Amino acid sequence: MKQSEQSDKNKHFFSEDITPLQTGQIEIKAYPDEKNEIAFYVETWEIEIDWGDSNIEFYIIRTTDGTFRHKYPNQNCQTIKINSYNMVFLNCGTDSCESAGTFMELRFGYMPNLQCFLNELTTLDVSNCTALTCLMCYDNFLSASALNTIFNSLPTRVPDNEAEIWFEDNLGFDTCDKTIFERKGWIGIMTKPYNR
Measure the CA–CA gap between 153 and 123, rounded to whole angstroms. 12
Measure the CA–CA gap between 159 and 185, rounded to whole angstroms. 7
CB 48 within 8 A of CB 97: no
Q: Which of 20, 11, 8 is nearest to 125 (CA)?
A: 20
Dihedral sign, Cα of residue 50, residue 56, residue 62, residue 63: negative
Which residues face 79 on adjacent strands?
A: 29
> Tens of pLDDT along 110-124?
667 888 888 888 988
Which residues face 59 on adjacent strands?
A: 47
Under DSSP, the state recorded for 144 is H
CB 127 within 8 A of CB 44: no
Within a 13 Å sphere around the CA of 136, how many CA atoms are in the beta-carbon half?
20
Measure the CA–CA gap between 159 and 149, rounded to whole angstroms. 23
Stated pTM of the model: 0.70
> Tens of pLDDT along 121-175?
898 888 878 888 889 999 999 999 999 999 999 999 876 677 899 999 999 999 9
Q: What percentage of the chain reaches a pLDDT higher than 90?
A: 39
Domain positions in the chain are 3-10+22-189
Q: Which of 94, 104, 95 is nearest to 124 (CA)?
A: 104
